[in-house]
Structure 1
């Protein structure tokens, strides 16, 4: 059963549910809907209301509403809620901030504190010499910096964020097709991959051009992706690690398995992202341990309660095992438009 809890009230028995989270997103997303006889009343929620969402009594996310729709006719009324967890402010807001000489975990804590977003840190990262935002979304800069450091930054049940390493813990469950897995999709999305990854940057302190490059041996024709590195990446692994991480993440998303499992829980509790699971699909010669990258709890009239899991190899979330030094180019003055100061931006 899914419930929402706020201001000492609980509402349960939602007829349609979709609760999703990803290791690549700072906010979980929630959609709830119900239709009842009669005219009904307002839910008592406004823009400031903080709502806990529970599955079988366990809090799975903490949200603020993005929108609430009430429809009333002569015989019934319906309520539709769309909401995201508290980290949404880091995604939606445009903000300016300059920080120097702090480690990535300290930067995450400071920005989360500014937006009143709870944060947990279980990993340490290198010092970021310069972290700059100019009228930008903080989420973009934080995600890019976390990737460059081989770390994950994602939403937690309290609505906040966790900065941590990809899980290396034992699988929480074994899923076998025909027993636990109702259906599966093997995804090969080749358009996400490139033959050559080149990340360019600039060390303004030492007046040096920087670059890092890596190849995807699985793409044998010329299909390059050139990226202008954000400023924050230089202190947490440099351009080489940024290029390797970009390749690995794209390989993971391009070669993944989407699973549909009956129910919302396993023996240890509810399914969660950044946990590992053993997947066995004999017809596909699949028998291995995978990391859960995306997870969605769903409920509808046709199929009941289901969990959709996107799983991929843990190695896909890792770049180089240790920070490498970016290759240095010729020393020159940054005067042209192409060599302007690059602040933290969203790099696809």
Structure 2
């Protein structure tokens, strides 16, 4: 996320022409055991949750937020390793019948914030789960409440190189698993229709959205905006903006060839393009042509790969809304109306 002052400054359109972006389908380094790696990861996390008291069911505590038309619950659910992950659940106060749900993931170094910051989806009639991001929540916004109890070796400040020596130890293995478990949690809540669940997020949240859609084949919709965590090599090659710049800085210092090889191998298990290939849910993407944080070619790489390896995949890539004169803020507030229209169609 960028401050209001920063958002006023955009670079020129620096990436491929739009016609080339529409056709961009790069070959990426995908490990042969990608599916086994993630199947084992998710199964292990679910087993760790099931072993906890109450069988790992989400714990809800009603919060008096001073709101009359929306109810708020402070949710705790077991994520990666069974670690407790926090979330806010907001719902229309007088709703009847099982509600469709939207699970939302937060941007880089933001937390779940405060419940009154997330009222839009509940006001539109949805159950809305805003997942906290473990270890983050102190960079902007209203803060987070979920620690990450797992350590790491030498890293660049930030999250891209935490556990970079091995994909099993990487920070985003834990976060993406938390994202799947957030969907598991909302499906287990009374008053939510488990068959009508969508996922969404901006930037890092968009990257998590893509990963969860690739790992869960039964979502109703996915809405990633200016997504991060896609096509890492391309991002590092064409932009020095953070957070991808953390990878560049790490390799600048740890310059041995074997370290570079190990780094790209780890990241190959976390690339949104690989998750997108496996995704089956209807999707709505967005990108901005002046975005040097998540360059448009990295977004198109995921969008153009969507469903390529999914059973019964269509030949047409998902819709993508393009903002030619914007940076990483993308469509910002203009996205909400597009989201609601998309959800009405699919939920």
Relative to its length, the structure with more strand (as a share) is: 1
Instruction: With the length of structure 1 as denominator, give the TM-score of the two structures.
Output: 0.27
Rg larger in 1 or in 2? 1
Q: TM-score, normalised by structure 2?
A: 0.27
Query: Which structure shows the bigger proportion of residues in helix conformation?
Result: 2
